[in-house]
Amino acid sequence: MFINGHTLPGKINIIPVSPPEILYHGTDPESAAIILSEGLKPMARQYVHLALNKDDAEQVGMRKSPHPVILKVYALKAFEAGISFYEGNDRVFLSEPIPARYIEPFTNN
């Protein structure tokens, strides 16, 4: 079952799970600058959406910009600090807002 949390009127209650060490988020350059300063927020959704791999995050980012920015999210560290994560499906994790200190630009280095 896929849970995305932006089409239902009430908050979906799901059980938190431990995420992988790293998750990814694809976005446009303008939004990336804001995210790196203010953190990831669900915006019009109930939860933040994160990809399990860089390629899926890039596909999401391409919907927003021809030159997407891929962000690397230190999900396990955020989880250990008290941020809740949830399994959305086999390719997506959901989370509560993630502070900027757990996010950095992805580089291929």
Report the Cα 25 to chain-centroid distance in Å: 5
Task: Confirm whether 6 is domain-assigned.
Answer: no
Task: Confirm whether 8 is domain-assigned.
Answer: no
Task: Confirm whether 92 is domain-assigned.
Answer: yes
Determine if residue 43 is left, alpha or beta; phi over 0 gives left, psi from -120 to 50 gives alpha, anything else beta: left
The CATH number of residue 37's host domain is: 3.20.170.30
Task: Confirm whether 38 is domain-assigned.
Answer: yes
- Answer yes or no: is pLDDT of 50 > 60: yes
Task: Confirm whether 29 is domain-assigned.
Answer: yes
- Answer yes or no: is pLDDT of 12 > 70: no
Task: Confirm whether 9 is domain-assigned.
Answer: no
Task: Confirm whether 47 is domain-assigned.
Answer: yes
Domain count, the chain: 1
Distances (CA, A) of 20 to 29, 50, 80, 91, 94: 25, 11, 12, 12, 12
Task: For residue range 56-77, list pLDDT tens digits in order.
Answer: 999 999 999 999 999 999 999 9
Residue-number span of the structural domain to which 51 is assigned = 23-105
Phi, psi of 42 (to 5 degrees): -70, -15
Bridge-based pairing state of the strands 48-51 and 69-73:
unpaired
Q: Which pTM value belongs to this model?
A: 0.86
